[in-house]
Amino acid sequence: MSTTTLVIEILVIGIQAGVGLLLWAIGMLGYGVIHKPLSILDAHGGSWRWSPLVAIVALAACYTLGIFMDRIALFVFHKMIRPFLRLVCPASLKSWAHADVRHALEEETGLMTALYREGGLSHLLQDYRSRLRIARATFANTLLIWSALWFTPHVSAVLPGYVHSVPVATAFGVAFLVIWVIVLGMLQVTYEERLQQAEKVQSRGR
């Protein structure tokens, strides 16, 4: 994976987390969180004059935040989501998922062999790892944003009343968890099967 790609991934994760934290700040402290800094900038030459510096500081903060959120998402995935999947998923479903993915990937064995000979196999594996990283962090950041929309007084007041009802919140929460658990589970299975397929291709190529 190139350094540029990794930096962009971390920035995307950090921007997502930044939106969630900003919503939490607005929701708990009010819209003055935005208005007061803007008024200070306007009093010292206008906000547009300071926009390049603000953009650089914001990107740097998002990058740092992205690193932290990536580590947090990785910890949550391995310590909570994976054990949960192993607990609730029967062995037959796990075997079926691995077998189904393995069968689909067998059709690309020729592609894997060609990539191995050209030295591009590692890039393919890194691509799958990137998808898993982005998915894990997006799951965590979506929870952060969702919680700000539902549980902070200033932001939640903007939403329609029925959104805060117990049935709607429960249905949304259950649907969100089910969809993301399936997505993360299948991405993890695909990544593991790709690694095993790569090992087989490498052993045959030696």
Give tens-digit pLDDT for 122-166.
777 788 788 888 888 888 898 888 888 888 887 777 777 766 677
Report the alpha-carbon distance of residue 73 to residue 134 in Å, rounded: 10
Query: Is the model more confident about 177 or about 89?
Result: 177
- Look at the chain and report how many structural domains it folds into: 1
Quote the pTM value: 0.76
Which stretch of DSSP H or E encloses residue 16?
helix 3-29
Task: Tell me if 81 sits within 8 A of 184, measured CB to CB.
Answer: yes
Rounded to 5 degrees, what angle do the CA atoms 52, 58, 62 make? 145
Amino acid at 36: K
Which stretch of DSSP H or E encloses residue 195?
helix 166-205
Full residue range of the structural domain in which residue 192 is found: 3-205
Region 22-42: mean pLDDT is 81
Report the alpha-carbon distance of residue 60 to residue 193 in Å, rounded: 36
Q: What is the pLDDT of residue 13?
A: 92
